[in-house]
Amino acid sequence: MKTFLKALVLVPVAILAIAFAVANRQVVSISFDPFSSGDPVFVLAAPLFLLVFFLLTCGVVIGGVASWLGQGRYRSAARRATAEARDARVENARLRTELDIQSRQNREAARLAGASSGPLPALELHDAH
């Protein structure tokens, strides 16, 4: 389904781009010297469609870079959340192991207490004064 939707969008765009390129094959002069239009220092002669495609590509790249830079804080927050989740999983595993050890010790103590014949001795509390 995703491939079909891509084709549904890209095929008409490609047809329009090809039609634009065929219709605008004439060579245009591009000058980067605003002060001497009669004898510019640097002139680039290229088909109009190449200029338009180049500028569109530059716009897409600049927009992508701007978007990537703008979303840096979200990527940073995602990395931080991933690290915190990893630390929480490690802590959870450590606590589960500790709980298992305590449970075994409690069961063993209960078994030993149940095996003794008499009551447990009372603790004497002495005043420290």
List pLDDT tens digits, range 19-50: 988 998 899 888 887 777 777 778 888 999 99
The predicted pLDDT at position 127 comes to: 66
List pLDDT tens digits, range 71-128: 999 999 999 999 999 999 999 999 999 999 999 999 988 888 776 655 656 667 666 6
Please give the distance of CA 110 from its chain centroid, rounded to a whole number.
Answer: 52
The predicted pLDDT at position 36 comes to: 75
Integer Cα distance of 99 and 52 in angstroms:
68
Point out which residues pair with 45 in neighbouring strands.
29
Average pLDDT rounded to a whole number, residues 8-21 = 91
Integer Cα distance of 53 and 48 in angstroms:
9
The predicted pLDDT at position 114 comes to: 74
Q: What angle do CA 62, 67, 71 make, to 5 degrees?
A: 150
